[in-house]
Amino acid sequence: MPHAPAFHGDGEELLPAGHRVGEWTVVEPIGEGGWATVYAARRATRSEPEGAPEVDDTVALKVLPTAGLAPRQARNVAETARREIELARTAPHPRLVPLLDTLTLTAPDRPALDGAIVLVMERARCTLRDLLATGVDEDRGGRIIAGICEGLAHLHRSGWVHTDLKPENVLIGRDGEVRLSDFGLAIELTGTHGHCAPMGTPDYLPPERWKEPLGEHGVKIRATADIWALGIVVHEVFAAGVPPFPGATPTARSAAAQQYAEGRAALRLAPDVPPFWRALAADCLAPTHAARAPHTAESLLARIRAHQAGRRPRRRSRARVRAGLLALAACAAATATVSALWPHSDRTGHAGRIRVFNAERSCQDRTDRDPGCSLGLAIDPRRPYTAENVVPTRVWHDDTLDADCQLATGLPIIDEEDRTSTLWYRVRLPGPAATAWLPAVRTKDRPTLADCP
């Protein structure tokens, strides 16, 4: 017996459960966007022997209908699919949702869906919007924002701008990690910018977008558009889903954002956004492209990593200790040797000698060189201050180091008290020509040293 057709609220026909799409069988609809309906589906032919434990092999089928569309709309849909496929092919990354296959739907008995383009994707557990509805604590929120920054940094390095970053397009994979999705509006840059159709989600569009002239190729777009959208998302994550600009409708909120960008209103972020994330959101929401440009996804990620590294010892949940394993492994290796490298508690304060300062209060009085209280020295002060960019040797509060020169223009580092500095000191390590870098926020001393070559 034929299935009775099912429809969306807007009257669009849905694929019924059990419908075969290539090697997949539709289970149920799980999401809907402006262009597509997304279904959970599972492999039609399972190879496991009878009685084998059930594995969750469901995928997500994004079905983009093309039938009955005006030629221009059909071109848009085809272009949307082309972008998704091109990006997945040329720039795969663990923080982007993997595209497993592409198909054309055959459904002669459903003319509205026949010939639709189908993108087969890894199925996510939920979207960030779903998570916001249930509440996200500060640590989880921080990890999600870091994941978004990793995805954006990769996209931008690869020459792409997402252009439609919003909580609906941030998926949470079954491993709990972020997967950016929906690259239908993603733009490949030529040099510093690209052009896109005048589309997008008003709440997440940067203020300059409303003023950009519409040329023959569309409106100008740069990576800073994603950074603005990131600022809105950061605010929503830490303010229980509330957007930073006031207004009951997207139009009212866009108008408020433009008033702020024109200097006619102040940026008023919700008081519940914690200080570190307020500062980060405010930088992402700098009012112009030029003011936002220094805050790249890469540099924001470095700030977040430094912030998270500083928070880690404060509260020791099991999950946090596990997350910090990499850093602690490096500490453990260095603990035995580091005490001998520098005399402890040398308070001479001569120029060229700097004393390490750990803003974490509970670490300041400890003399046992607890690994959780150790601080990292960077290999390269211009690269993100992450585990890969840290020498194995660790330092502790009150250690004194020999510094031989300084760099005023390193990566900005924010400490736990929200002090920011781009100043770094090059310090000498034992061994021939061995050096590493200490961010100036990690010392209270300010010797004036020669600029490093």
Ligand X SMILES: Nc1ncnc2c1ncn2[C@@H]1O[C@H](COP(=O)(O)OP(=O)(O)OP(=O)(O)O)[C@@H](O)[C@H]1O
* Span of 34-42, 102-110, 136-144, 341-349 interacting with ligand X by CB under 6 A: 34-42
Which of these segments, 31-39, 326-334, 377-385, 429-437, binds ligand X (CB under 6 A)? 31-39
Residues near 319 by Cβ (< 8 Å), separated by ≥ 6? Answer: none
Relative to beta strand 117-122, strand 59-64 is antiparallel
Report the nearest approach of ligand X to the CB of residue 253 (Å): 17
Is residue 389 a contact residue for ligand X (CB under 6 A)? no
Question: Closer to ligand X at the Cβ: 97 or 146?
Answer: 97
Using CA of residue 357, residue 363, residue 365, residue 371, what is the dihedral sign?
negative
The span from the CA of 284 to the CA of 300, in Å, is 9
Q: Is 62 annotated as a binding residue?
A: yes
Residue 402 CA: distances (Å) to CA of 187, 231, 353:
48, 39, 5
Considering only 127, 296, 358, 443, the residue that binds ligand X (CB under 6 A) is 127
Verify whether residue 57 is a known catalytic residue.
no
| Contact call for residues 392 and 378 (beta carbons, < 8 A) | no
Kindly tell me which of 26 and 356 has the beta carbon lying closer to ligand X. 26
Nearest CB to ligand X, comparing residues 30 and 112? 30
What ranges make up the beta strands (E) of 147-216? Answer: 160-161, 170-172, 178-180, 187-188, 194-196
Using CB under 6 A as the binding rule, whether residue 83 contacts ligand X is answered as: no
Binding window for ligand X (CB under 6 A); candidates: 107-115, 116-124, 131-139, 417-425: 116-124
What are the backbone angles phi and psi of residue 282, rounded to the nearest 5°? -65, -40
Contact status: 113 vs ligand X (CB under 6 A): no
Dist CA 344 CA 355 (whole Å) = 9
* Candidate ranges 26-34, 241-249, 269-277, 337-345; the one touching ligand X (CB under 6 A): 26-34
Q: Counting contacts by CB under 6 A, is residue 354 touching ligand X?
A: no
Residue type (1 letter), 185: L
Instruction: List, in order, residues 6 or more apart from 81 with CB less than 8 Å away.
Output: 64, 102, 117, 119, 184
Nearer to ligand X, 36 or 440 (CB): 36
Catalytic residue among 164, 182, 226, 398: 164
Q: How many CA atoms lie within 13 A of 241 on its CB side?
A: 12
Query: Which residue in 62, 154, 220, 397 binds ligand X (CB under 6 A)?
Result: 62
Residue of 14, 25, 26, 35 interacting with ligand X (CB under 6 A): 35
Separation CA 366–CA 361 (nearest Å): 10
Decide if 232 contacts 243 (C-beta within 8 A).
Answer: yes
- The first and second tokens of residue 63, run together, are 């079905």
Residues recorded for the chain: 453
Contact between 145 and ligand X per CB under 6 A: no
Question: Does residue number 123 form part of the binding site for ligand X (CB under 6 A)?
Answer: yes
Minimum distance between the CB of residue 352 and ligand X, rounded to whole angstroms? 55
* Pick 126 or 333: Cβ nearer ligand X: 126
Please report whether residue 171 would count as binding ligand X according to CB under 6 A. yes
Does position 169 interact with ligand X (CB under 6 A)? The reply is yes
- Angstrom distance (rounded) from CA 282 to CA 270: 11
- Is the separation of the CB atoms in 144 and 128 below 8 Å? yes
Query: Nearer to ligand X by C-beta: 168 or 370?
Result: 168
Distance CA 343, CA 258 (A): 56
Instruction: Please state the closest distance from residue 304 (CB atom) to ligand X, in A.
Output: 25
Q: Of residues 263-292, which lie at the interface with ligand X (CB under 6 A)?
A: none
Q: Which of 96, 97, 149, 152 binds ligand X (CB under 6 A)?
A: 97
Burial 29-61 (b: 16+ CB within 10 A, else e): bbbeeebbbbbbbbeeeeeeeeeeeeeeebbbb
SS3 category, 426: strand
Of 172 and 407, CB closest to ligand X: 172
Residue choice 14, 26, 36, 113 for contact with ligand X (CB under 6 A): 36
Task: Decide if residue 34 touches ligand X (CB under 6 A).
Answer: yes
Residues 421-450 as x/- pattern, contact with ligand X by CB under 6 A: ------------------------------
Amino acid at 422: T
For position 60 contacting ligand X by CB under 6 A, the verdict is: yes
Does residue number 31 form part of the binding site for ligand X (CB under 6 A)?
yes
Q: How far is CA 360 from the centre of its chain?
A: 26
Q: Are 178 and 131 a contacting pair, CB within 8 Å? A: no
Residues that bind ligand X (CB under 6 A): 30-36, 38, 60, 62, 97, 121-124, 127, 168-169, 171, 181-182, 184
Annotated binding site for ATP: 62
Q: Active-site positions?
A: 164
